[in-house]
Amino acid sequence: MKKYSFLFLLLFTGILIAQEETVKDSVQVLDEVIVKAVRVNSESPVTFSSLTQKEISKRNLGQDIPILMNSMPNVVTTSDAGAGIGYTGIRVRGSDATHVNVTINGIPYNDSESMGTYWVDLPDFSSSVESLQLQRGVGTSTNGAGAFGASINLLTDAVSENAGAEISSSFGSYNTQKYTLKFTTGKLGEHFEIAGRLSKIKSDGYIDRASSDLSSYFLQASYVDENTLIKTLAFGGFEETYQAWYGTPMVRIVGDEQGVEDYISDNYLSDAEAENLRNSDRSYNYYTYENQVDHYSQDHYQLFWSEQYNDNWSSNIALHYTWGRGYYEQYKEDEDFEDYGFDEINIGDETINSTDLIRRKWLDNDFYGTTFSLFYNNNKGFDLTFGGAWNKYEGDHFGEVIWARYASNSEIRDHYYDNYGNKTDFNLFTKVKYNVGNKILLFGDLQIRTVDYEANGVYNGNVDDSFFFFNPKAGLTYLLNDTNNFYFSYARANREPNRTDYENGTPKPETLNDFELGWRINNNKFQINSNIYYMRYQDQLVLTGELDDVGSPIRENVGDSYRLGLEIDANFIFSKHFSLQPNIAFSSNKNIDFHTSWNGELVNLGNTNIAFSPNVVFGNKFNYQPTEGLLISLFSKYVGEQFMANIDNDNSKLESYFINDLNINYEIKFKKVLKSIQISALINNIFNVEYISNGYYYTYDDTWSVSGETTTLDGAGFYPQATRNFLIGAALKF
């Protein structure tokens, strides 16, 4: 219990922060206080976009949250299985998921060691999201791993005034099925509410054998009165996905039969692997072992206390605990005994020191802590926010062999490694907003963050690193009139390496200086948001394009680099029937004086493109509402060409693609027990485009070339996305 004592101390001391005064006459929406400390509004000098529950629900037919965010500015999404269910990823301004801070109700969600975000662990979580805000760039101070390219914060379902229930289901291509049951008791005795959700999703995936079997739950109990909200949440999920981490070679995507034979020969494929490659197409999956699965469960518990003390003071404090556990299973051929602690076997004159085997690599972790915030508003243009968090991660990594052709001296489930990773993260921030003459809003944000990380089983045996980061932010907003405002901001961010970085070398922390200049126009007929950003990095940890032996992207420090871009998004309302929501981003993303090993020598390639950073990203949503209750939307997305490595090699290029999705929603409303029926249909990639949104690329020096010369060779794998496919569903609301 010692590890929890600090949390309870904060609970009872952190809320004694204001005197009792006359309470407000009007009731504040205390649900929003939960995320107030990490969110911004249209008068803040921060670049952001938002999605509401209503917008999300229109295409929420089973796909993960990154796919539902694909319409947002400068966002690129991808899916290992190709159809948006299972392992999915998101990049914002070219920054990968390890650089995107994610919070749920202000509580960190990024994995503490990898810093990635695994949405597959929370299937159908979008059905419990009240609203979502994406801040691009450093944004405002938040909790958890520092925002380095963007931050996403989600607010879960608000307290409902009225009782209700919802039953929904959907089905579609690749044997996709989704079933969801939601309920709320509404206010019981004017103060209490209980609500919940159960979900089940299954899909075979577009890629061969890339199936998903997912389930999740969400339960909340709330007490609310005029100035108090106490809410406790329990939510989580289970996933079992067949691995599709290794991608598809280009020869199989383009159907080059001779290339397939050359690939088989060059990569020494077994007879079974060769037949798998010959008999497949662009949906090829390298893995054929029937139980090559990722099997993981994650449970979250959150407790919130939000209080409005008077017209000026309010606060929020939270406790949280997350338990994650699971493994992925692999069939491995010809593994060396010494890697598993096996003794050599002598049979007659033959010495056996390798074997085929099945192994499981386990992760069992605990994540717990507290977040807290205090707000002051004098109602005269001065806002003060003080907040922070203390979080602790304890992770156990271990491996076991569950079958071996030659088991030697081993016993089933013997551990062949036992590693750990422990991380403590503490931050405090103060944010100030001040209105000068009703025209100029000044903004300041100071954060200190400390990180202590201990781990073993990495590059140099052990890690014992501590970091102290100071992250200042400042900006101003000029209110020209009721419809126009301009803003400028500067933010500095620092960020520690992740476990994979340590496993592949001796990384350094990275630093970002982010400059944002924007103009917002907002009137009854249209809204336009435009901004220019310049993000200058020191020692940025960029993706190399390579994967490690467990499918995790490898990163490396690249010295100086930058991202410079222009983003514009708009909403044009032409009539009650027609609206248009375009967005476009132009950018230049460069490594400065990039050095790499080539043909056995260190060479300077000059300024090169940062991996996975397209220079153009365009999106558009055309909405047509011919009659009340019927909405037809055409969503278009263009992503320019991008390189999978930092050397500007054409072999590492992902070609540009342009796809279109058609979304149809029809809602029939009733006045009795059944409130409405909502029917939704989604046709993805309606023009049947064959495209690739992600891949990997590696180079290596081959030292047994002719005459002993060193020659740099390369290889690549790709993650093809689904061609035309559909989802259709219905939701009954009571």
Give the global pTM: 0.91
Distance of CA 533 to the CA centre of its chain: 22
CA distances from 564 to 85, 102, 516, 532, 594 (A): 32, 23, 10, 8, 17
178 phi/psi in degrees, rounded to 5: -140, 135
Sign of CA dihedral 24, 29, 34, 39: negative
* Token pair for 502: 């340590």
pLDDT at 2: 39
Rounded CA separation 268/521 (Å): 60
CA distances from 65 to 69, 120, 377, 703 (A): 6, 9, 34, 45
Rounded CA separation 665/64 (Å): 19
Sketch the domain layout of the chain as residue ranges.
Answer: 2-248+283-733
Q: Which residue has the tokens 């400065």?
A: 592
CA distances from 196 to 124, 160, 186, 216, 674 (A): 13, 12, 11, 11, 19
pLDDT at 595: 86
Rounded CA separation 586/721 (Å): 24
Q: Which residue has the tokens 């490690």?
A: 548
Distance of CA 405 to the CA centre of its chain: 39
* Three-class DSSP category at 35: helix
pLDDT at 380: 85
Rounded CA separation 555/99 (Å): 11
Per residue in 154-197, pLDDT tens?
999 999 989 999 999 999 999 999 999 999 999 998 899 999 99
Low-confidence ranges of the chain (pLDDT < 70): 1-30, 144-146, 460, 701-714
Confirm if 420 and 456 have CB atoms less than 8 A apart. Answer: yes
Rounded CA separation 532/141 (Å): 20
Which are the contacts of 464, defined by CB distance < 8 A and separation ≥ 6? 453, 454
* Three-class DSSP category at 645: coil
Rounded CA separation 514/489 (Å): 8
Per residue in 628-673, pLDDT tens?
999 999 999 999 999 999 999 888 999 999 999 999 999 999 988 8
The DSSP line for 46-89 is S-EEEEEHHHHHTT-SS--HHHHTTTSTTEEEEESSSSSSSSEE
Which are the contacts of 474, defined by CB distance < 8 A and separation ≥ 6? 443, 444, 445, 489, 490, 491
Rounded CA separation 290/435 (Å): 63
CATH superfamily, domain at 2-248+283-733? TonB-dependent receptor, beta-barrel domain (2.40.170.20)
pLDDT at 707: 52
Give ∠ CA 607-612-613 in degrees, rounded to 5: 65
Rounded CA separation 499/465 (Å): 12
